[in-house]
Structure formats: C-alpha cells, structure tokens
Structure 1
Amino acid sequence: MQSIAVSMNLLEFAEPVLIWLALFFFVKSGRVKRFPMMTTYLAVRAASSVILELILNLQRFASVSDTLQNSIYFYTYWAFYISAAISIFFVIREVFLHVSEPVPGIQRFGMLAFNWVAVISGIIAISAALPLKGLGAGMVSIGFQVMRCVSILELCLLAFLALFIHSLGRSFRSLAFGIALGFGLQAGMELITSLIAARSSYLDSSMNIVLQVAITIVLGGWIVYFLSPEPHAEREAITLPVSSPLIRWNEIANALGHSTPHVVVGQSSATFLQDVEKVVDKILTKNSISVNS
C-alpha cells in the first residue's frame, strides 16, 4: 500500500509539470493559429493545477477554516472540470474541421452532428441537475454528464481518423491525429477504469493509478507530437485524388439538403372527363349508324 501511495504522489506531481511543458512546447511550435482551442484547453488545465494547489495550501497564507477551504476547493475544481470538458468539445470540433477540409460536404454534415450533440448534451446535463438540491450537487451532475458526452465524441473522432486518416490525405504523424489519439486513449481508459471500479470497489486505488499513468502517457505523447516537425504535406492544402471513395461521398453529402430544380411538365390538352365524353360520343354515333342501316 505504501508503494502505491508513493507512485500516486509521483504521478500527481508529474501531471502539472507535463501540462505546463505541453503548453509551452505547443505555443513554441507555432501551431496556436491552427488549433486555438487546444491552446485554451491546455491553458485551462495549467491554470487549474496552479490554482488548486494554492487552495490546498491556503491556510499557510490566510486564516481560513477547513470547511471554507474545502468549499473553495470543491467549487473551483468542478468549475475547472466543466470548463475543461467544454474545451475538449471545441478541440474535437476543431480537429474535425481541420482534417475534413478536402471534403466540405462531409464537413457540413459533421458540423450538424456536433451542433446537435452539443444541444442534446446541454439539455441532458441541465435536466439531470434540476432535481438535485444545492449548487454543489448540480455542478457535479453537469460535469459528469458533459464529460460523458464529450468522451463519446473523443472515441468517435479517434475511430473516424483511424479508419480514414489516409483517405483524407493525412498521416498518423499529423498533429491532428496526435491530439485525437491522446483524447481517445484518455476517454477509453476513463471508461474502462470506471467500469472496473464500479464492479469491484476494492480496486479503486489501483484503477486511479492506472488512469493517472494513462494521463501521464497522453501528456508525454502530446509533447512528442509538439516537438516533432510535421511532414511538409501536412501543412499545405490537401487535394484528394479523383479515385478516392470520399470524393463520391462528398458529392452525395453536397447534394443532400439542397433543393433540386423542378421540371415543368406540360399539361394534357384534354382532361379525363373530356376523354370519356369523346368515347361515349363515338359509341352513340356508331349505334345510330347501325340502327339507320
């Protein structure tokens, strides 16, 4: 148990250091204009690590009660948690916009899906928090609901890029894939550890270490991506070959949602009743000729 506690302390100490390093190298790499929301996400994580640490040591600087200190830490933590979840949503949206530039039709439908997910997630989060009493319980509920929806988007984006990254003219060395890979691994590990911990409560500490290791690996992987130069083709506009299957899908997506021109059909010179009258007249004329003869 003591070794587990020591390992957890080391990992928790390494996390804020890696976050600040990731933010520094990301800004230094000059990719802020391409992925501004990624900068926002890293800045939120970096600021939360400093502010929460200051709150934990608040009694060294001011005479506050334990209750007040815990309350400040609780509300600050969940405010940053919700902010980080919202930032991740916009980072995922940003990455999808970047990789889907060669296929604007598919990009348009993807944006519709993102917008609807955002609306539905907001409704679910607020609806789940309304029956709860107190601001704290509401913040916890909203935070979990938003992060759950964002985690699903993270996994979907990773699966999409893993299947179509080469068809979109990108490679696994691209920064967009590196960002999606990090978020996808973190979301998948959070899902697995939460399921295992729910079935076996005595594994909580072990699962926390596993999750913290995953976070450390993700941050380290991002730093490697930020430091590694992207291929020259990744920084230019991508043009897909005519033989790409995504071209046909993009044409279909462009056609959907747009009104097609209406063809004016000429009206018949005679109506149905007029045709019936002509037939009746012919029969009567024929009968009258037969009688006369």
Structure 2
Amino acid sequence: MKSQLVIDMISLGECLACALALLVLLLRNQFRSYLSLSLFLTTRLVSDLVMAAIMMRLQTDHAAYKTFYPVYFYVYWISYALEAVLLLMAVHGIYRLAMAPLQGLQRLGMLVFRWAAAVSLAVTLGLAFGPHITASRFIVRFVAQLQQTSSILTLCLLLFVCFAIRPMGLSYRSRIFGASLGLGMLATTNLVVSAWIASGRQLYSVVNIGNGIAICAAFCVWGVYFAIPEPKRRMIILPTTSPFLRWNQISQALGDEPGYVAIAGVPPEMFADAEIEVMKRASRKMVEYPEMA
C-alpha cells in the first residue's frame, strides 16, 4: 500500500514536471526548434493523464475492469512505443543542432544513424515474433525491445554529442547539453525498465519508483535549462590537426562527383570561339618569343 501511494505521488509530480517543461518550451519559443522533444513531452503528458483517469475509474468502479483495462493496456503500450520513436528523433535533432558548424560530419553521422535505426527496427521486429504468441504478448515484447534498442542508440549518439560539446563552441549551460542530459537520463532508466517490464514484474516495485523519480528529474532538468538564458555559441577554432576537422573534410568529399581531365582526342568544336582565339595568340607568342616558352 505504501509503494502504491509513493508511485501515485510520483506520477502526479511527473505530470506537473512534464507540463512545466512543456510550458517553458512554449514560452521560450523553442517548441519548433526542439520539435521532437516537445512532441515527446506532449505524448507523455496526454498518456499520463488518460491513464490516471482510467486508474481512478477502476479504483472506484471495479465492475468496469473488463471495459477499461484494454483501453489502459493499449494507451500505455502505444504511447510507450511513440515515446521510443520520439526519443530517437529528439536525439537526431540534437545531434543536427550540435554538429551544425561541421556540415560534413553532420551529414555522415545522420546517414549512419538512419541506417543503424533501420537495422535495429528490423532486428526488434524479428525478435518480437515467437511460437504460440498472442497479440497482446507480441505488443509487449515488440515495444519493450523497441524501447531497449532506442535507448541504446540514444546513449551511443549522446555520448558522441557530449564529447563534441566543447569543440563545437557549446558550453555545459547550453540548451543542447541540457536536452542531451535529460535524454540520457531517460534512456538509461528506459533501458532498465523495459527489461523489467518484459519479465512481467509487478507494477508497484522499487524499480518503478526509481523510474518515476528519474523521469521527474529529467523533466526538471529540461525545465531549468530552457528557462535560464542560454550562453552564446563561441566561435569555433580548430587546429589543423583536429580529428573533427579532418573527418569533416573527408565527409564533405564523400559522394562528390570526381573531376575529369581531357587527355587526347579533343575536337576543336568543343571549345568556344574565345578559347580558340586565346590559344592561337598564345601559340603565336611562343613562336615569336621562344624565350618565353
């Protein structure tokens, strides 16, 4: 009973922190800049409110269990899957903002990220299938595996973003770092909770209490970082030996069409009249003044 009361209080605090973070994003005109993050918060807030209303109804009317429990089940797991996708999209957007000065690395990283996400989705779908599996069990396994995969990809990309914060002219007070910090906290807790849920543990447990506290902390981090003024991005000065600069140059060259050089067999009609006239004059000068050759 005590665990249930604690989780109910944490759930209330989570809704308040989520609404506050979303409100700060709107007031600071950052909703469009961090669109995926804003949609993540919106999805989380709506699903929490809907599930809280269903739980209150079930506590007062036990006869409505058969009617409302399927609604609760699908709202929970559909929102859980949407949050996993939006989490990846949010990290993708943060990476794009962080690496904006280095277009080559930005393009290469986004390409690798998309391929990794596509392969991970295919693997997740394959692992969710099994013999004699029901539709509800398939949803649970698929979404839990999707959340685990999303969390791993998120942590990998965030690790690179954190290492690139200082070289990219950002500080640890920037909103990009604050958003990354909150996403890292969520990804870590989701990685643990998704494995816990898939094993069929009880709802009111220590893991869920810790998960709720971590989620509230992540929302508070976002609210604080987006509420305080963001320091201006510094001018980026990289040494010529910097690996960021080298890899950016290599990435920019990838996919470009190679240059072509005419060796022989070039007919005169391929040149413009002005080019032919210039070559004639140059030839006459070489004949008249051989010392210039």
TM-score by length of 2: 0.78
Within 2, Cα distance between the matches of 1:258 and 1:183? 35
Deviations 1:158-208 (A, max 9, x none): 211221101011111111111111111222244457779999x89x82222
TM-superposed deviation, 1:3: 4.9
Superposition map of 1:143-292 within 5 A: 143-191=143-191, 205-231=205-231, 233-234=232-233, 239-243=235-239, 245=242, 246-261=244-259
Is the 2:13–2:216 Cα contact (8 Å) retained in structure 1? yes
Letter in 2 for 1:250: N
Letter in 1 for 2:188: G
Q: Percent identity?
A: 27
Within 2, Cα distance between the matches of 1:218 and 1:190? 12
Over the aligned positions, Cα root-mean-square deviation in angstroms equals 3.0
Is the 2:147–2:190 Cα contact (8 Å) retained in structure 1? no
Within 1, Cα distance between the matches of 2:181 and 2:207? 21
TM-superposed deviation, 1:59: 5.7
The 3 A distance-change label for structure 1 pair 64 and 137 is same
Deviations 1:4-54 (A, max 9, x none): 444333212211111111111111111112111111111101111111122
In structure 2, the residue matched to 1:15 is 14
Is the 1:165–1:171 Cα contact (8 Å) retained in structure 2? yes
Within 2, Cα distance between the matches of 1:226 and 1:41? 16
Letter in 2 for 1:256: L
SS of 1:257's equivalent in the other structure is: coil
Point out the structure with max Rg over C-alpha.
Answer: 1
Within 2, Cα distance between the matches of 1:125 and 1:196? 17
The 3 A distance-change label for structure 1 pair 207 and 56 is closer
Is the 2:51–2:75 Cα contact (8 Å) retained in structure 1? yes
Letter in 2 for 1:137: R
Within 2, Cα distance between the matches of 1:212 and 1:171? 29
Letter in 2 for 1:42: L
TM-score by length of 1: 0.78
Is the 2:148–2:195 Cα contact (8 Å) retained in structure 1? no
Unaligned runs of 5+ in 1: 268-293
Letter in 2 for 1:241: I
Is the 2:140–2:198 Cα contact (8 Å) retained in structure 1? no
Number of matched pairs: 260
In structure 1, the residue matched to 2:280 is none
Q: After the TM superposition, which parts of structure 1 deviate over 6 Å for at least 4 consecutive aligned residues?
A: 60-64, 193-199, 264-267
Within 2, Cα distance between the matches of 1:148 and 1:196? 11
TM-superposed deviation, 1:87: 0.9
Is the 2:144–2:198 Cα contact (8 Å) retained in structure 1? no
